[in-house]
């Protein structure tokens, strides 16, 4: 279970998160919506443990463990996965190599044996088929020259291979056409399980037609200003964020 309490965070001295309280239980999917600059991506980076994103007050704990002193790699080994809004290019490193290195790094950190190459190959073939990731893509350097859709599919492939228990999807719908959105959403939906928590960050209700959340939060100026069921997303789609932003400003 993820427990965020009164979380304040800043980047380069700029206060961005100003007191977030959020609890996500296993099996739940929470959507976080909000206008540009409300702190959505910052929240995802703070959760993943990016350096320079400093927690100034409050806490994050996962399954009872305080995460404030854990590095990004340790959080990953503990089950955290961030699907990046803008996945980073790693020139010269074949996607396949990256996947195997990441999987083995996490297994090592958890004190497990490395996966054998045949087992790994079998696993990748299986998972990549579902996400329409071609063998050619697996040979290409990770994210280098990938289209927007390919990048997001590669992110979800990583998620599916690494089997995290806490998934944060940062605007995974951005840059996707309708077909790609469907493929990616199906990939995510297959990963929904009673053991797994998900936080889906998005601007648009569209994604939530495919990945139906249990809870929707509205984030504005670094705080959650409204929490509701999936119908809240529809309301936002119709009326925009103005109500909540103004309310906050008042």
Partner 1 sequence: MDAKLASGGISSLENDGRATWARVEYPKIDFEDLHYYAAPKNTEGPKSLDEVDPELLETYKKLGIPLSEQEILAGVAPENRVAVDAVFDSVSVATTFKEELAKAGVIFCPISEAVREHPELVQKYLGSVVPVSDNFYATLNSAVFSDGSFVYVPPGVRCPMELSTYFRINEKNTGQFERTLIIADKGSYVSYLEGCTAPQRDENQLHAAVVELVALEDAEIKYSTVQNWYPGDSEGKGGIYNFVTKRGDCREKNSKISWTQVETGSAITWKYPSCILRGDNSQGEFYSIAISNGHQQIDSGTKMIHLGKNTASRIISKGISAGVSQNTYRGQVSAHRKASNARNFTQCDSLLIGDKCGAHTVPYIESKNSSAVFEHEATTSKISDDQMFYCQARGLDEEEAVALIVNGFVRDVIQQLPMEFAVEAQKLISISLEGSVG
Q: What is the DSSP letter of 88?
A: P
Q: In angstroms, rounded to a whole number, what is the distance separating the alpha carbons of residues 85 and 66? A: 26
Q: Which of 1, 72, 121, 191 binds partner 1 (CB under 8 A)?
A: 72
By beta-carbon proximity to partner 1, the closer residue of 142 and 183 is 142
- Rounded to whole angstroms, the Cα distance separating 86 from 89 reads 9
120 binds partner 1 (CB under 8 A): no
Distance separating alpha carbons of residues 96 and 102, to the nearest angstrom = 10
Q: Are strands 2-11 and 80-83 parallel, antiparallel or unpaired?
A: unpaired
Minimal distance in Å, beta carbon 42 to partner 1?
Answer: 14
Per rule CB under 8 A, is residue 105 in the interface with partner 1?
yes
Cβ-contact 24, 197 below 8 angstroms = yes
CA–CA gap between residue 166 and residue 75 (Å, rounded): 10
As measured in angstroms, the least distance from the Cβ of 115 to partner 1 is: 13
Nearest distance from C-beta of residue 82 to partner 1, angstroms: 5
Q: Does 148 bind partner 1 (CB under 8 A)?
A: no
Looking at the chain, how many residues does it have?
A: 250
Contacts of residue 163, Cβ cutoff 8 Å, sequence gap at least 6: none
Among 36, 88, 117, 194, binds partner 1 (CB under 8 A): 88
Closer of 84 and 244 to partner 1 (Cβ): 84
**Options 26, 87, 148, 175; binder of partner 1; rule CB under 8 A:** 87
Which residues contact partner 1 (rule: CB under 8 A)? 48-52, 71-73, 75-77, 80-82, 84, 87-93, 97-98, 101-103, 105-106, 109, 141, 158, 162
């Amino acid at each position: 279970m993820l427990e965020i309490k009164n979380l304040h965070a800043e980047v380069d001295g700029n206060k961005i998160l100003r007191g977030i309280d959020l609890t996500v239980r296993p099996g739940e999917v929470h959507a976080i919506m909000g206008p540009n600059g409300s702190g959505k991506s910052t929240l995802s980076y703070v959760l993943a443990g990016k350096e320079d994103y400093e927690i100034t007050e409050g806490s994050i704990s996962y399954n009872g463990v305080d995460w404030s002193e854990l590095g990004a790699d340790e959080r990953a080994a503990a089950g955290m996965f961030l699907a990046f809004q803008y996945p980073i290019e790693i020139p010269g490193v074949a996607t396949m190599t990256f996947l195997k290195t990441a999987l083995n790094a996490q297994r090592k950190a958890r004190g497990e044996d490395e996966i054998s190459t045949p087992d790994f190959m079998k696993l990748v073939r299986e998972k990549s088929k579902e996400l329409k990731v071609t063998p050619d893509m697996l040979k290409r350097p990770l994210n280098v020259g990938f289209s927007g859709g390919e990048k997001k599919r590669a992110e979800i492939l990583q998620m599916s291979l690494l089997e995290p228990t806490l998934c944060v999807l940062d605007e995974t719908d951005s840059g996707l056409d309708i077909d790609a959105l469907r493929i990616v959403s199906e990939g995510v939906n297959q990963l929904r399980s009673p053991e797994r928590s998900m936080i889906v960050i998005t601007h648009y209700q569209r994604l939530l037609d495919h990945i139906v959340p249990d809870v929707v939060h509205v984030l504005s100026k670094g705080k959650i200003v409204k929490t509701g069921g999936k119908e809240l997303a529809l309301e936002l789609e119709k009326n925009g964020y103005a109500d909540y932003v103004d309310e906050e400003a008042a």
